[in-house]
């Protein structure tokens, strides 16, 4: 092969490889966050990727299950965008809880534990165990999700009473979501 063509092929391979690396850079594995022991992920699971969630938490004024004459704001559902470390939109987070990637893969989960956020006025940090994933792309194989570095999102300060039952309020929030795979 002529040396000029070898250089061109090498250049093409380098450009293609660089593009693939740049595309994956937004979801490169990162270190495990420092969390209270209740939120620790079991051994054998490693951080696969981290996304920033930001959007709205939807609250509803409801009677307390164990005290029907008392009322409280209850989180009804999240509605947030998921972005990678380059601030590119990669998916969404909504009720279930469900994290859905733009490639169509998604994971739902069951809350295992919460811990107060280190800064008052922010929603608690959380550990969720993933249930079986849907799709064969990014979310496939996710085992646990941690919500950390929360900002805002606490229940409304508005009164929640018998007169306001079923009232709905939206609160802005953001958090980092650490996704783990075994």
Contact 150, 55 (CB under 8 A): no
Please give the structure tokens belonging to residue 129. 């165990």
Name, in order, each residue with C-beta under 8 angstroms of 118's C-beta and a sequence gap of 6 or more: none
Span 102-121, pLDDT tens digits:
999 999 999 999 999 999 99
* Mean pLDDT confidence for 137-153: 97
Identify whether the C-beta of residue 124 lies closer than 8 Å to the C-beta of residue 152. no
Token code pair at residue 107: 């994971």
From residue 86, give the alpha-carbon distance in Å to each of 36, 46, 48, 93, 95. 28, 21, 16, 18, 25
Evaluate if pTM is beyond 0.85: no
* pLDDT at res. 29: 53
Looking at residue 31, what is its pLDDT? 87
For range 9-24, the mean pLDDT: 35
Residue 18 is predicted with a pLDDT of: 33
Identify whether the C-beta of residue 101 lies closer than 8 Å to the C-beta of residue 27.
no
Q: Where are the domains of the chain?
A: 1-27, 31-181
Arithmetic mean of pLDDT over the chain: 87
Q: What are phi and psi of 72, to 5 degrees?
A: -155, 155
To the nearest 10°, the Cα dihedral for 96, 93, 171, 114?
A: 60
Instruction: Please write the tens of the pLDDT for every residue from 52-72.
Output: 999 999 999 999 999 999 999
User: In the chain, at which residue ranges do the beta strands (DSSP E only) sit?
Assistant: 46-64, 67-83, 89-94, 98-101, 106-115, 125-130, 142-152, 168-181
Cα 84 off chain centre by:
11
């Amino acid at each position: 092969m002529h040396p000029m063509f070898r250089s061109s092929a090498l250049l093409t391979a380098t450009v293609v490889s660089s593009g693939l690396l740049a595309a994956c850079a937004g979801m490169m594995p990162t270190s495990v966050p420092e969390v209270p022991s209740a939120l620790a992920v079991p051994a054998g699971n490693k951080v696969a990727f981290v996304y920033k969630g930001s959007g709205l938490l939807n609250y509803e004024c409801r009677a307390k299950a164990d005290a029907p004459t008392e009322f409280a704001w209850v989180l009804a559902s999240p509605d947030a965008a998921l972005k990678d470390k380059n601030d590119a939109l990669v998916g969404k987070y909504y009720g279930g809880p469900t994290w859905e990637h733009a490639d169509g893969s998604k994971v739902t989960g069951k809350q295992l534990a919460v811990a107060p956020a280190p800064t008052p006025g922010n929603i608690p940090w959380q550990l969720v165990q993933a249930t079986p994933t849907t799709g064969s792309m990014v979310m496939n194989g996710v085992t646990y999700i941690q919500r950390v570095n929360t900002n805002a999102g606490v229940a409304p300060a508005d009164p929640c009473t018998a007169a306001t039952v079923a009232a709905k309020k939206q609160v802005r929030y953001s958090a980092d979501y650490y996704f783990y795979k075994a």
